[in-house]
Structure 1
Amino acid sequence: MAKKTTPEYRFDVNADATSLPSFATSMCFNSAYVENNKAPIDNCIEKLDQLNLIHTQYSSITGVAVNLPTVYNLILLGYISAIESYIREIIRKIIIIDKHSRVSCEIEEISYGAALNYPHHLLPEVILEKASFASKKNIIDAFKKFLGLEGHQPAELISTLDEFEKICHLRHCIVHRFGKLGSQNAIKFGLDNHSNLVEKPLEFDVNMVFNLSLICNNTVLVVNKFLYNRVMQRTASKENNIWNWDLRRDKSNFKKFYDLFYSTKKPHVSSSLTEAYTQLKQYHTSII
């Protein structure tokens, strides 16, 4: 005897979905884009400035009686994305020019398709595909794993990444709960001050967003300085010295490292190429 089929209950409680053709994701990207030659830090600062322009223009619009939370939430997502993009770019480009970093990545696996189709200068991007930079631990672990930068991290880096990690937890609230505080993030922030805020939505104002942008600017400045100093220190060490200590002979190679880290938007007062080389030479002399 055939088994009786149970009929489905069907009742439309909302309007019918709009019929759409298949969405072509390849049309969403700019195929004519060519990567610029700017330092990764300057690319990141430009992105942060663009995001700041959005919220400053929005806040100046007359007739806006209340803040629209979604605008500020989206700007915070952009901040985090800009920082993560910077970290990926700087790691990728360090691997390309720094032998010690390249050796650190030799055991990393990439897919066969990527090996066949990616240009050489983008292959390091493949090994970063599954990496996340949304926490202090993840960022420091990535520097160790992909760049071979073991050892002590300076207090400035640790404290800066602690502040950045707070923003990463706010991002988690936005991505997964449309801005409401979940229990896990409340624990990360500290239950003493946040247990009564679970399931409460984020509510930024202009000043808060400005402070968030400062934290992100500080993050990229401190990370960039840390990576430059550690990578260059290693190139001049007894074990890994790659320099002739004659700027005329070293300039071409030294400029690759210098240009990768030097910020035209946030330069230090004494950050000329010649001065940087002189300081590195003095460091090398002090350890031999």
Structure 2
Amino acid sequence: MMAVAVRPLVEVEPLPTIDTTQLFRHKGEVRSPIDNFIANTNAINVILARATADADPSPELCSIVVLGYLSAVETYFRTLLSRLAHIDELTMEALGQKLLLFSVAMKRPRESLAEALYEDSFASVKELKARLGEIGMQKLPTEIESALDTYESICHVRHCCVHRFGYLGNKNAHDLGMPKHHHLIGGLFSASTEDLSNIADALQVFVKTCNNHIFKFVTDRTAKAQNDPKHTFEWGWRWSWRYKSDKKRFKPYYDLFARVVGHPASMPLKEAYHHFKDSNASMVANMTARYNTSLQRPKGSTQPTKVKTDLTS
């Protein structure tokens, strides 16, 4: 008996061939993570402005825009923390116990291995705190803490856009606040241009705030660790508290966190160094006093060699 051809309910075309090796390209210019974040956000804003020149954004466009904004945030944190591990010994020490798949370690070039540590998500406050905790920021500054509720709300909207095509689910309604959102369950995310602009602005404020505080945390931490005789970390260098001597060590931190492209740009390198030095004045004084004391010890003392410091430079 011959098989009877059954016409499919939905017509299906031949499956196209997709060559993923042709879908990516390298970008030649290497910018700081904060510069990249602002450029990525602005690129999305341009697309939004063009698409809404004559009409309000469609729900589908709203979802795509929010996905883009949060992707820019996650890329910022991944890039920042992976690069930080290359320049900051204390960050690398803190990440020493972080689990890494053997297959990843074998296939990644040494210079990009740290980046492999940050395939984790940053799309929730819990995940963000965990990642910052891994580098030693267990207690977040008040300015960051006060912005976390807003960031978390945007993350819940993103979750709806990713997993439910923009429709509000029960769990996200609960997390956003069931008393205010219960009647919106099943509703479609449909923001105005002003709403999307507010989301973009809130994320820019949040990321800039994090950028400033992480910079201060990691640079101040070097001074605190070097000033603590009980710290077990073996330093191969010390702050001299003279700009000309410290410039080579301070510049990688500045380059990683500074905004160079756009307006307003970050303060110049030398000014940023002196802010760092002034904010650690008490430790500078302590380290200088210990050095001066070491000069008065008799010859043959077994005390460790001190690096010369100078508060007048």
TM-score (norm 2): 0.81
1:140 corresponds to which of 112, 129, 138: 129
* Displacement after TM superposition at 1:11 (Å): 6.4
User: Which of 65, 74, 80 is the matching residue for 2:70?
Assistant: 80
Identity between Structure 1 and Structure 2 (%): 30
Q: State the 1:113 CA deviation.
A: 3.5
Q: Deviations over 1:62-92 (max 9, x none)?
A: xx4x542111210110000000000000001
Equivalenced residue count is 272
- Whether the 8 Å CA contact 2:83–2:115 is kept in 1: the answer is no
Counterpart residue number, 1:283: 279
Counterparts of residues 15-26 of structure 1 (less than 5 Å) = 15=11, 17-26=12-21
Give the deviation of 1:34 after TM superposition.
4.4
SS in 1 for 2:72: helix
Counterpart of 1:44 in structure 2: which amino acid? F
Q: Output the aligned Cα RMSD.
A: 2.3
TM-score (norm 1): 0.87
Structure 2: gaps spanning 5 or more residues: 1-5, 287-313
d(CA) in 1 for partners of 2:24 and 2:31?
21
CA deviation map 1:150-179 (0-9, x unaligned)? 3x3122101222211111100111111111
After TM superposition, the structure 1 = structure 2 runs for residues 88-107 of structure 1, keeping only pairs within 5 Å, are 88-107=78-97
List per-residue Cα deviations over 1:3-60 (Å, max 9, x = no partner).
xxxxxxx763222x11125432222211xx1463311100000000000111111121
Partner of 1:5: none
Counterpart position of 1:274 = 270
Q: Look up the match of 2:22.
A: 27
The match for 2:41 among 43, 48, 51 is 48
C-alpha displacement at 1:186, in angstroms?
0.3
Which residue of the partner structure matches residue 6 of structure 1? none
Contact 1:236–1:280 (CA under 8 A) maintained in structure 2: no
The 5 A counterparts of 1:36-185 are 36-61=29-54, 64=55, 67-129=57-119, 131-145=120-134, 147-150=135-138, 152-185=139-172
Which of these residues, 233, 236, 241, is aligned with residue 245 of structure 1? 241
Matches of 1:192 and 1:198 in 2, distance apart? 11
- In the other structure, the counterpart of 2:295 is none
CA distance in 2, matches of 1:243, 1:230: 16
Residues 162, 35 of structure 1: alpha-carbon distance in 2 compared, 3 angstrom cutoff: farther
Stretch deviating more after TM superposition (190-199 or 274-283): 274-283
Contiguous gaps of at least 5 residues in structure 1: 1-9
Q: From 241, 255, 259, give the equivalent of 1:259.
A: 255
Please say which structure displays the higher CA radius of gyration.
Answer: 2
Indicate the SS of the match to 2:280: helix
1:128 deviation in Å?
Answer: 1.5
